[in-house]
């Protein structure tokens, strides 16, 4: 079976399993989404959603955020990990949004990736989920699944993103990357995974390695 045929069938399985996929990170607008995605680096979405209510009660826009110093921000976001770096990035990017973008989150990959603490993956999530621009954010979980399902060689996340974009039509990227995430959590985790009961691995994954 050709890789494209496998990809098509995987997309079908994901769509049947998760016809509706909510955005995992709680937010109210593009700014709160940007901050939440930044906080999610090396932290679970569940933990981020536990922390952001207190942070956004203090400041849910860049103008309010810059009135608080970095230490105040860090104290709230400590449970997310990497708090010294993340708190500094949140404060700095908020000031940049005010100075260069009239307090608004820019709707371009280039401008987003120039913000402190915002890499390509974070920018892709914001572009997809806040602005509806086709993107395929690849984190370590999607990278792992793409390799496990033989959709990519797994050399690095950049290569995986290119491989997935070639295999799947642009119009489903934004939904598909979320379907990957939800499916991976429920059926195809990194640890304790049974490839023989996974609807995808049992057909197209590396189940033979576990025999």
Known catalytic residues are 121, 139
Report the distance separating Cα 134 and Cα 138, nearest Å: 13
Calculate the dihedral angle through the C-alpha atoms of 24, 40, 121, 199, rounding to the nearest 10 degrees. -50
Cβ atoms 49, 69 nearer than 8 A: no
**Residue-wise over 87-100: b if at least 16 C-beta within 10 A, else e?**
bebbbebbebbbee
Distances (CA, A) of 46 to 35, 53, 114, 194: 15, 12, 27, 24
């Amino acid at each position: 079976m050709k890789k494209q045929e496998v990809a098509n069938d995987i997309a079908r399985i994901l769509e049947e399993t998760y016809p509706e996929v909510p955005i995992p990170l709680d937010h109210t607008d593009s700014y709160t989404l940007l901050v939440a995605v930044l906080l999610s680096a090396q932290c679970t979405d569940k933990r981020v959603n536990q922390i952001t209510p207190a942070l956004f009660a203090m400041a849910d826009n860049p103008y309010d955020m810059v009135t608080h110093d970095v230490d105040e921000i860090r104290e709230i976001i400590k449970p997310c990990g990497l708090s010294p770096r993340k708190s500094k990035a949140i404060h700095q990017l908020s000031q940049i949004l005010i100075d260069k973008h009239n307090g608004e989150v820019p709707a371009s990959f280039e401008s987003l990736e120039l913000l402190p603490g915002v890499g390509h993956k974070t920018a892709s999530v914001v572009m997809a989920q806040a602005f509806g621009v086709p993107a395929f954010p690849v984190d370590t979980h999607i990278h792992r699944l793409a390799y496990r399902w033989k959709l990519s060689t797994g050399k690095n996340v950049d290569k995986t993103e290119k491989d997935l974009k070639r295999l799947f039509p642009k119009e489903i990227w934004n939904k598909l990357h979320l379907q990957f995430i939800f499916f991976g959590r429920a059926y195809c985790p990194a640890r304790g995974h049974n490839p023989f009961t996974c609807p995808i691995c049992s057909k197209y994954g590396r189940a033979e390695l576990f025999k």
